[in-house]
Amino acid sequence: MKLKKLLSLVLAGVLAASVAAVSGVSAQESNPVELTVVTTNDIHGYHTYSQGSVVGLEYVAAIAQAEGADLVLDAGDTLHGQSFATVTQGESMARLLQAAGYDAMTMGNHDLNYGVARLQQLSENYVPILTGNLVNQSGEAALAQTVVKEVEGITVGVFGVYDDSLISSADTNALEGHTVTDALEYANRTAQALTDQGCDVVVCLTHNADPVTFAQQTKNIDLVVSGHQHLEYRTLLDNADGKNVFVAQNGYYLRQAGLIHLSYDAASDEITQADLEYITADQVAAEYTPDETVSNLIDTIDQQEEGILNTVIGTSPVEMPYAWEDVRRGETDIGQFVTASYLEATGADLAIENAGGIRSGLPQGEVKYGDVISISPYGNLVVTKQLTGAQIQQMLEISLDITLRNLAAYEGQLSMLEQGASSQEAQMAYPFPEESGSALQVSGAVITYDPTAEYGSRIQSVTIGGTALQAERLYTVAGNSYLVTDDTYPMLASASVAHEYGTCEEAIRDLLLQGEDAVVSAVEGRVWQVASVQPEEPVQPNPPQEQPAQPDVGEEIQEEQTPPTGDTAASLAGMALLVVSGLGLAVLVVLRKQCRKHGGCE
C-alpha cells in the first residue's frame, strides 16, 4: 500500500548531524531503524467490519500483515460494551485480539467492569493486559506488567499504566480489594527499568484522561499509545528530559486503525521521525483483504452466541430511542423504563439510574436479549439503600444542577455549530461537566422545580407514591451497584446497602416479560415538572471557555470526538433535526449534516 503521510515530524538535518557528531557517529552511519506499529483504542466491543463505520478486527489483522507490523497494540476499553463482548464477559473480544496478532493491551475503565479476577483470566489465556499500577493489598501487580520484543535488530519494551485519576470512572466494586497507584510515578519507574534492561525503544500503553500532559512529564518513553478520550492524537512532544515522545490515539469504536511508522536513531537514542496514518472503514475494504482466520473466528463466536443474543424476550409497542446527550439533559423514555424495571425488581419507593449507565435504546416490536444487554452492558447489580427524605431532596438538587449544566453546554455547542464551528471547537468551548454522566433518570416520584432559582432551592416539591416527601422518613432507593457508590452523591455513597438483587439487564428483561401493558405503563407520565413559567426564549449559554493551551511541538488533533464512556464530552455531529426537550425547555434547531471522512455521518 502506498502510504499517505498524514503527519511527518522530522528533526532538522543540521540538528541530527550535530548530535551525531557529538556521539562520534556520522549521520550516514546512524542508519535509523524503522518500526511499524498498528494501534487501536476504545473499541467497546465493536469487532467486525461494517461499511463506512467499523474497520473490524479481521481488517486490523490484515493491515498488520500487509504493512509488516512489528507490534499490534490496544489502549483499553476494548473487552466491554457491545453485547457480543459482554455476553461472554470479554472472552469473545480477547479471543479475537489473540487471533488478530495483538502483542498487548492495557486496561480501560470499562474493561474493569468484569472485575480484576476476570481480567486476570483473560490476560493469562489470551492477550497480556498490561496494567502494572493495579496492585493487590500486598502491593503486587494484579495483571501483566511488560512485554519485551526483539524488533529489527533492536529491543522494544512495552508496558501499560492506568490513569489513577480515572478511578471514579470505573466500578470501584470491581477492584475487589485492589488499588491503582500513581500513574506517572509507575510509568517513569517502569520505563527506567526497561531501559536499564537494555530496551532501546520504550512504548507505554495508557488509558488516560490527559495523555499529552502525561507524556510531557515522562522520561525514557518513546511512544505513548493512549485511549479514553475518543480523540485522534498524533503529536511529537518533548518529554521531561527534552527528548522526543510521540503520542497517538485513534478515536473510538474501531472506526479506524492507527498505522504508526517510527524512525529510531541509535546515535541520539531517540525517535527522530513519527508518521501516523488513520486507516478508516471507508478505505480498508478497498485496500486490504480480511484475515481469514479472524473472519472465521468471528463467525464461530457469532454462532455460539446467537442462541443467547437472538432470543426474543418480549415486545415493545413503542420505540424508546437513546442518545448520549439526551439522557444527560432531561428525562427520557428509556431512562424511565430502566428505572421502572428497578422498582419492579425491588419494590423500592424510588429508583434512579445514572445517565452514563444507559448505553442504548429499546426497539419497537420484538426485543431480543442482545438489545437488553446493549442498554445495560455493565453487568451491574440492582441494589437498594435507605435515605431520608431530606437526603433524597439533596440528591435530586445535585442531579438537577448537573442536568442544567449539561443542557447549557449542549445549547452552547449547538449555537457554535450553527455558526459554522467544528464539533471539536464546539466541544472544547462548551465542554460537558466531568460528572455529566451522573445526571439521574428517575422513577417513582413527581418532582416540581424552578430552574431559575439558586442551587439548593430549585426543587419545589417531591411526591413519592402520591404523598409529599417527608424530611425525616426513611425511603428505599434502588439503583445500580456502580451508581450507589458514586461520590457525586455523598449521601448515597455513604449509606449501607440494604439488599442486592440480580443484574440490571435481568431487571429490564423481567419487566419486558410482563407484557406490552407493563412496558407502556412504565413510561407514562412525567417525573420532572416545571414549577414556574419559562421564558419564551431559552436562556443564552455562558460565553465560551478560554481554549486550553495546546502543545507547541508539531501537534495535530482531529476534529472528531464522541463521548468517552467516562462521560466527559458530547457527540453532536450528524444531526439534521433536534428537539431539545425534558426539564420543560424546548428548542427546535435545524442543523446541516456535518459528514466527516472518518465513518461518515452519525
Give the pLDDT of residue 559.
Answer: 34
**CA 43 to chain centroid:** 9
pLDDT band at residue 169 using 50, 70 and 90 as cut-offs: low
Question: What are the phi and psi torsion angles at 186 (to 5°)?
Answer: -65, -40
Compute the distance between CA of residue 277 and CA of residue 259 in angstroms, rounded to an integer.
5
Domains of the chain: 9-303 (3.60.21.10), 312-530 (3.90.780.10)
Instruction: Specify the range with the lowest mean pLDDT, choosing from 259-268, 277-286, 501-510, 528-537.
Output: 528-537
What is the pLDDT averaged over residues 540-562? 41
| C-alpha cell at position 102 | 495483538
Q: pLDDT for 400-420, tens place per residue? A: 999 999 999 999 999 999 999
Percent of the chain with pLDDT over 70: 82
Dihedral sign of CA atoms 425, 431, 432, 434 in order:
positive
Query: At which residue does the C-alpha cell 435481568 appear?
Result: 506
Res 499: pLDDT: 87
Comparing 15-24, 67-76, 237-246, 350-359, the range with the smallest average pLDDT is: 15-24
Interior angle at CA 491, CA 485 and CA 492, nearest 5: 35
Given pLDDT bands bounded at 50, 70 and 90, which one contains residue 539? very low
Q: Check residue 153 and report its DSSP letter.
A: T
Q: How many CB atoms are located within 10 Å of the residue 554 CB?
A: 16
| Cell numbers given for 427 | 466541544
Residues 6+ apart with CB under 8 A from 357: 338, 376, 378, 380, 437, 480, 482, 483, 504
Look at residue 59 in the predicted model and tell me its pLDDT. 99
Q: How many CB atoms lie within 10 A of CB 334?
A: 24
220 neighbors 159 (Cβ within 8 angstroms): no
Question: What gap in Å lies between CA 37 and CA 15, rounded to an integer?
Answer: 26
Neighbours of 537 (CB within 10 A): 7
Helix boundaries (H) for 76-129: 83-86, 91-99, 116-125
- Confirm if 206 and 183 have CB atoms less than 8 A apart: yes
Burial label for 117, CB within 10 Å (0-12, 13-18, 19+), is exposed
Predicted TM-score (pTM) of the model is 0.65
pLDDT at 337 over 50: yes
- What mean pLDDT is predicted for residues 539-562? 41
Identify the residue whose cell numbers are 461494517. 50
Q: 504 or 82: whose pLDDT is higher?
A: 504
- Residue 596 contacts residue 559 (beta carbons within 8 Å): yes
Give the lowest-confidence range in 30-34, 324-328, 370-374. Answer: 30-34
Distance between CA 437 and CA 440 in Å, rounded? 8
Confidence of residue 536 (pLDDT cuts 50, 70, 90): very low
Q: In the prediction, which pLDDT does 583 show? A: 36
Which CB contacts under 8 angstroms, 24+ apart, belong to 11-14?
11/244, 11/272, 11/273
Q: Nine-digit cell at 467?
A: 404523598
Per the document, the length of the chain is 602
Tell me the per-residue pLDDT of 446-479, one tens digit each, with 9 for 90 and over: 999 999 999 999 999 999 999 999 999 999 999 9
What pLDDT does 551 receive? 37
**Span 168-180, average pLDDT:** 80
Return the pLDDT at 563: 42
Contact between residue 16 and residue 50 where contact means Cβ atoms under 8 Å apart: no
Which residues in 348-385 are b (16+ Cβ under 10 Å) and which e? bbbbbbbbbbbbbbbeeeebbbbbbbbbbbbbbbbbbb
Given phi > 0 = left and psi -120 to 50 = alpha, else beta, which region is 295? alpha
- 600: which DSSP letter? B
Average pLDDT, rounded, for the chain: 84
| Secondary structure of 362-407 in HEC code, one letter for each residue | ECCEEEEHHHHHHHCCCCCEEEEEEEEHHHHHHHHHHHHHHHHHHH
**pLDDT confidence of 527, banded at 50, 70, 90?**
very high
pLDDT band at 578 (very low <50, low <70, confident <90, very high): very low
pLDDT of residue 53: 92
Q: CA-to-CA distance for 92 and 298, rounded, in angstroms?
A: 9
- 12: how many CB neighbours lie within 10 A of its CB? 8
- Residue type for 462, please? V
pLDDT at 296 over 90: yes
Q: What is the pLDDT of residue 381?
A: 82
Instruction: Indicate the pLDDT class of residue 288, thresholds 50, 70 and 90.
Output: very high
Q: What percent of the chain has pLDDT over 90?
A: 69
Q: Give 568's pLDDT tier (boundaries 50, 70, 90).
A: very low
481, 383 Cβ separation under 8 angstroms: yes
Average pLDDT over residues 334-351: 97
What is the model's pLDDT at position 600?
28
Region 46-51: what's the mean pLDDT?
95
Short-list 92, 155, 103, 161, CA closest to 127: 103
What whole-number distance in Å separates Cα of residue 565 and Cα of residue 230? 9
Residue 562: per-residue pLDDT: 43
pLDDT over 80 at 8, yes or no: no
Q: Does pLDDT of 122 surpass 90?
A: yes
Residue 562 C-alpha cell reads as: 464522541
Alpha carbons 94 and 89: distance in angstroms, whole number: 10
Write the CA distances from 48 to 260, 261, 566, integer angstroms.
22, 25, 24
Q: Inform me whether the pLDDT recorded for 379 exceeds 90.
A: no
Please state, in angstroms and rounded to a whole number, the distance separating the CA atoms of residues 41 and 32. 28
